[in-house]
Chains A and B, each alone.
Chain A
Amino acid sequence: MSSTTDQQLRKILTDVLGLKPGQADGFDADTGLFGHLPELDSMAVAGLLTEMEDRLDIVIEDDEVDGELLETYGALLAFAEAKREAA
């Protein structure tokens, strides 16, 4: 379950950031996202969140989205996994 969420999240980031296949395999828990990747502007983050909802079958509330959530890959993955467990 958790590894599936991990794989799907890497795939979503690959699509949004236009990464080459396999490039997201190098992301670890400390890999910086928002604030570290200039292409992740508010429109891209909004698309990322909608895509996470669709593909992971979760609902993300506005007030759950803050700087910390998007700070690192590890934080985003932990959030997605917790959401799926609660669903």
Chain B
Amino acid sequence: MTPASYPCPRPSDPGAPEYALAFDRGQAVRLLIIPALFDEGHKLRRLCVEVMRRLDGSGVDSFLPDLPGTNESTADLTGLTLADWASAMTAAADHFRATHVLAVRGGGLIVPPGLPGWCYGPVKGSSLLRTMLRARVLSAREAGREESGEGLLVEAQEHGIELAGYRLGAGMVQHLQAAQPATLAEIAQDVVGGSPLWLRAEPDYAPSQADALAAYLTMAVRA
């Protein structure tokens, strides 16, 4: 596993580098993994990397790019939308010469066009947004402040909002509210076994889930 980078189009800088984790042995099958979004990305990152290690052992190269404005990226998230993330993933797919794509959860909302692939646990953007808004309403209530999810959504679509520690611009909120997962083949939890790691209150890891997901992908990319 090596840190790599890919040139990412930004309004201010057409080729700004963003980091990616890469297992690159020049194999014929090259899988781009589009990470889950926001807090789910943290909960699923270890699973993704463990799947990559297993794919490497099976002769499949894989790439896990940072989304601009998250992880190691120096881009300002507030000015970005799902369209920018989709452009970034297209740039990563081109740079790493991806042959297949695995989108994880909300990653299914920013899939580059034209590549065959799968989505593990696809989710609508509005559902991700609703959960984050609800978490904010609940924590405000614990702090003695009364906020409403509907009121916050209206304001967020106009002025942006901070949710789950992420400063989202109005454009990102509008895109999330409307975004539907791309039409990739769905990988259901039955395939992976156990219970979904993105639901866990405490981030957790299950080697059996990484084994199952990697085994499924190893067969699927060669089918």
Q: Contact residues of A with B, CB < 8 Å?
A: 14-18, 37, 39-47, 49-51, 54, 62-63, 65
Q: CB distance B195 to A42 under 8 Å?
A: no
Residue B148 at the chain A interface, CB threshold 8 Å: yes
| Complex CA–CA separation, A26 to B206 (angstroms) | 23
User: A67 CA to B186 CA in the complex, in Å?
Assistant: 37
In the bound complex, residues from chain B placing their C-beta under 8 Å from that of A39 are 201-202
Q: Does B130 contact A (CB under 8 A)?
A: yes
Output the least CB separation between A22 and chain B (Å).
Answer: 13
Q: Contacts A18-B195, A41-B201 given: A62-B131 contact, CB under 8 Å?
A: no
| Nearest CB of chain A from residue B207's CB, rounded to whole Å | 14
The answer on a CB contact under 8 Å between A50 and B142 is no
Q: Which residue of A lies closest to B165 (CB)?
A: A43
Q: Count of B residues near A, CB < 8 Å?
A: 24
C-beta contact mask, B136-151 vs A, less than 8 Å → 1, else 0? 1111001000001110
Say whether chain A's binding surface is mostly helix, strand, loop, or mixed. helix
Residue in B130, B132, B138, B196 whose CB lies within 8 Å of A45: B138
Contact of B149 among A18, A37, A54, A62 (CB under 8 A): A62
Known interface pairs A43-B39, A43-B164. Does A18 touch B137 (Cβ–Cβ under 8 Å)?
Answer: no
Q: State the CA gap A65–B131 with chains docked (Å).
A: 13
Q: Min CB distance, A27 to chain B, in Å?
A: 16
The answer for the CA separation of A63 and B130 in the assembled complex, in Å, is 15
B134 close to A (CB within 8 Å)? yes
A44-B201, A50-B127 known; A14-B138 Cβ under 8 A? no
| Of listed A18, A37, A40, residue having the most chain B CB within 10 A | A18
* Residues in B lying within 8 Å of A, measured CB to CB: 39, 127, 130-132, 134-139, 142, 148-150, 164, 195-196, 198-202, 204
- Minimum CB distance partner of B136 in chain A: A42
Asked if B134 and A49 make an inter-chain contact with CB atoms under 8 angstroms apart, the answer reads yes
- Whether the Cβ atoms of B39 and A15 lie closer than 8 Å is no
B201 touches A40 (CB 8 A): yes
> How far is A37 from B200 in the complex, measured between Cα atoms in Å?
13
Query: What are 8 A-B contacts with C-beta separation under 8 Å?
Result: A15-B199, A16-B199, A18-B202, A41-B201, A43-B201, A46-B132, A47-B201, A62-B148
